[in-house]
Chains A and B, each alone.
Chain A
Amino acid sequence: MKKIFSLFLLALMLVTTGMFRANNAAAQAGFDRHTMLQGLVDHVILPGYQNFVDAASELERANTALSANPGIENLASAQAAWRNASNTWEEIAFMSINIDLMSLHNQVDKRPINESLLLRRVERAEVLDEAFVASLGSNQKGLPTIEYFLFDPTLSQEQLLQTLLADETALPLLVALSQSLHSTARDLYDYWSPVGQNYAADFIAADQAGGDAQSTINIIVNELFGTFSMILDMRLGRPAGLVEGSEPRPDLDDAARSGQALSRIEHNLIGMQRLFNGGIAPDQSGFDDYLNFLGAEYESEPLSDLINARFDAAIAAVQAIETPLYQAVIDEPEAVAAAYTAIQNLYIPIRVDMSSQLSILVTFSDQDGDS
């Protein structure tokens, strides 16, 4: 018995001292995931929601000004404020990581809108205020509904203004919708904020639960997967006729009224890259640092560098499309296909290599696995 153990220990010593592949993490202190998650909250999530609160506030102010003084200039300001709010939102939209957040996120951006139900509700309403909007379903409010009133690519700005003025409910409803959006934005910030509901503390603490140690990181990475899937399939692939069909489908552009679909994708990618890097500043701890700590490589290059390069390439490819998506799928199919391919090339190392390195369980279900 003793001999067997002695042989076993001897063999183990031989292997540990000389034979096994040098791992650059072996001699280092452990990677501080707590610091990384705290950094994600401090440098990405809270600033992201704060930016959206500011943008929603500006949108509310612009819509109030439009309602008080209807004119082309104020309409353009309201449209610009909406575009800014939409872009700001997309940079944080993928953080819909639990039921509460899912519900709040749906209040901000649930597409497509139920236009006929909304108009019926408006017709029956006595007062068009924030309380009325609060009573509406998520597909009758938020950014897409405001977009519905503020944009119409078939009309000139003057015609659009006249249409808004012709409907006496439109401008009061726009104000109420933007007030409600602003409230939801504040609720979202409050949900995360340490001086509010402080979900940030639970978010970080969920990484401390022993066997469930990966839960927070698992959840975030799975949300990224879901966002990429959505972009490649529904938001870009199907309108372009590259996924599930062979012909372009401009009608599937999910932000056709504002022509903002590509900008939404671009800002989605910008937000995800920020999350990957843990912020904007190079010293902020993110998934890139975690991968570097693990020595994750792709073809002898740091995996984090590859992913960042592909983020840059994907964002540039989307920016290179000059017309709105519904038009580009007809007029610029090569550029759209190039953007699709660039995003796919980005998704593959994130979905396969990064999740393998982080031992991410692709959790669409929590079925056991011993195979």
Chain B
Amino acid sequence: MYGRLVRRLQQPTPILPLVVLRLGFGLLLFVSTLRFISKGWVDALYIAPPFHFTYLGFDWIRPLPGAGMIAVFAVLLILSLCIGFGFAYRLSISLFFVIFTYVELIDKAAYLNHYYFISLLSLLMIFLPMNRRYAFDSWLNPNLRSDTVPTWTVFVVRLQLGIVYCFAGFAKLNPDWMLHGLPMAIWLKANTNFPLIGWLFDYGWVALLMSWAGAFYDLTIPFWLLWKRTRWLAYLTVILFHLMTALLFPIGMFPYIMIMATLIFFSGEDYGEIFKRLGLRDGTYPQKAHTPSRAFVICLLIFFAYQIFMPLRHLLYEGDSNWTMEGYDFAWRVMLNEKTGFVIFTLHNPETGQSLQVYPDAYLTGQQVRMMSYQPDMILQFAHYLEAYYRNKANIEADLEVYAQAYVAHNGRSSRLLLDPQQDLSRFQRSIWHWDMIQLIAVP
């Protein structure tokens, strides 16, 4: 069984799905980076803020000073094109992975699921022979050319996408989503002026139908895409589904990235026909050896095991992750909640008995305020920042106490206090363990 599987994964398969993915990835990331720069987000998210929310264990990652971050994004632009056109591919994709991941680790407030996906995919792409056809590299170096690659190189990308979709689907299997059509109902009612079908969005059953359809889509689409008989119809569904989300929600490049990435599910034969119609040669160059080492296979297994663990780790925490946010990120919990929060900090000097209130809007960007307002670890990190800031500002030697009134409304329910407002946050440290200060709520 194992031997058969290994042999199957080693069998040659046309390289074309990888070529299409490389081209799509490079060009889409070029557009995405250009869009990011043109919207002024490099400055707004990385240069202007004096404070950044770091990831636990990555506090040492800081934005580059001066025009450094602009240079970083300029390099990403160039690397995207190099990847797309297969120029110095291995170096380009390696640098892209390192730089892109560095940028994403600077500020937790900028976390998006699709950025995480791009980091993972680019890491995977470092080890895939994607530059052996229709690339500058293979054009410059004919010895590199190959029309086929081992099956595993395409399989791992499909597996990566399957993990994203399936865990996004599993995350939707909760009472709010499946029984109450939440938060879909809230979002749809805010879009009743949507062309043609907007009038339907006021009806509860539409929200429920779309919630179920979304869960069904996420849980099954990789399989429909894998099955030859349903592939084209499934891909049409991918396009319609993601375009619909793009029109309804402000989720930027995510839909287009998924529309592009799912192209990997088309087979070499599918692309062969298209390439033939385009007059491109196919089937001339023999397969080059690309047998992975044992160490690489182990790394690959760890890579995917990590990706199975991360979306499931929320089960190890007490309470509903959708409320506590513990084990929430890096878990494909995409567009799962409607959450709004507001935090007021109170600093108290126990020596003088004086207190003052602080509104985070004066210290953080709007994006940071919004993201922090319902994430306990970010509230804790900012509480520490405020404590140090005011101690330095007023030249106080004694430790200040910091309290937070963090009001959060989840999926349209009345707002609740997320943290115990009587607890001095300066006494707590961030950790990967459950934080007792989070006031748990009953799952409806």
Q: Which residues of A contact B (CB under 8 A)?
A: 1, 8, 11-12, 15-16, 19-23, 25-26, 28-31, 33-34, 207-211, 213-214, 229, 232-233, 237, 241-246, 294, 296-299, 344, 347-349, 351-353, 355-371
Contact = CB atoms under 8 A, between A and B. Distances in A.
A310 to B, nearest CB: 13
A368 B251 contact: yes
6 contacts: A211-B248, A297-B414, A362-B370, A364-B369, A364-B370, A371-B113
Nearest to A19: B179
Contact of A370 (B193, B199, B335, B414): B335
B191 A353 contact: no
A109 to B, nearest CB: 21
B112 A356 contact: no
Interface of B: 39, 41, 44-45, 110-114, 178-181, 183, 185-187, 189-195, 198-199, 201-205, 208-209, 212, 216, 230, 246-254, 329, 333-335, 338-342, 344, 349, 352, 354-359, 361-362, 365-367, 369-370, 407-410, 412, 414-415
A178 B358 CA distance: 38
A359 B205 contact: no
A209 B180 CA distance: 28
A210 to B, nearest CB: 5
Contacts of B41: 365, 367
**Which among A25, A358, A371 has the highest number of chain B CB atoms within 10 Å?**
A371
B139 to A, nearest CB: 36
Given A20-B180, A244-B356, A246-B355, A368 B250 contact: yes
**Which among A207, A357, A359 has the highest number of chain B CB atoms within 10 Å?**
A359
B111 A243 contact: no
A16 B208 contact: yes
Given A15-B208, A245-B356, A31 B338 contact: no
A244 B193 CA distance: 43
Nearest to B352: A246
A190 B407 CA distance: 41
Given A20-B181, A207-B193, A213-B190, A229 B205 contact: no
B365 A366 contact: no
Given A297-B414, A348-B407, 14 more contacts: A8-B212, A15-B179, A20-B181, A21-B180, A23-B204, A30-B192, A232-B359, A294-B189, A352-B341, A352-B415, A356-B410, A356-B412, A369-B252, A370-B249
A298 B112 contact: no
Nearest to A12: B212
A349 B335 contact: no
A303 B5 CA distance: 60
Given A214-B190, A365-B44, A25 B202 contact: yes
Nearest to A367: B367
